[in-house]
Amino acid sequence: MTTTPTVTRARFSAAVTAAATLVVASVLGGPPALADDAPSVPPGTEATASAPVELDPNDPDLKLPDGATLAEPKVLDIKQVVEDQSGDERREDTNSDVKFALQAEVLFPKDSAKLSAQAKSRISTIAQEIKAQNATKIRVFGFTDNLGSSAHGDVLSRKRANAVQSVLGQELNDSDVTYEVRGYGEQYPIADNSTEAGRKKNRRVEVSFPRSENGS
């Protein structure tokens, strides 16, 4: 009757000693846990030993209906976007078009449609690209953020688009060039209007034109 408590106390003491040793080893820096040497893979992409599903080449569901033909192959439109570090100017190139987006702050004073000297220099650079592309149909669209009334944004964006088109007309000086000029106001935002950074991107004038096969 006297030996059972003694054995129990001995086992309890050993367990406490082992736990304390683990705690000390953890605090003082014991041996690191061993990691799995196998590389991790995304769930669902693990290798499997099962054979791939076999397809029946004679399955009628895999054949075109009688009289049907495949669509003509075409090259998908590829877009390349380049934006300067300040974010003031953005250029988009696709297989068919070139588009420049200039933020309003680099073109006009606040709530104004009067171009600055710096703005005219930027527009002149765009005119040179239009000449290089031999483009004769130019689109000039103005946009604002969603602050203020919608009607005011429509008018201001149209006035700003007109101002940019006027400088382009002087630079190109070509009667064969036609312009489509519109003011869209707060429509078609490209960023979140709930932040000032987003509203700044939305206040812009876009100049776009077709890319020529012989252009650069």
Per-residue pLDDT 10s for the chain (216 aa) are 444 444 444 444 444 444 444 444 444 454 444 444 444 445 544 556 666 677 777 777 777 777 778 778 776 667 788 877 677 888 999 988 999 999 999 999 999 999 988 899 999 999 999 999 999 999 999 999 999 999 999 999 999 999 999 999 999 999 999 999 999 999 999 999 999 999 999 999 999 999 886 555
- C-beta separation of 204 from 88 below 8 A: no
Contacts of 31 (CB under 8 A, 6+ apart): 25
- C-beta separation of 137 from 209 below 8 A: yes
Q: Which helix (H) or strand (E) holds 90?
A: strand 89-93
**pLDDT of the residue at 188:** 95
Q: Which helix (H) or strand (E) holds 81?
A: strand 80-83
- C-beta separation of 201 from 190 below 8 A: yes
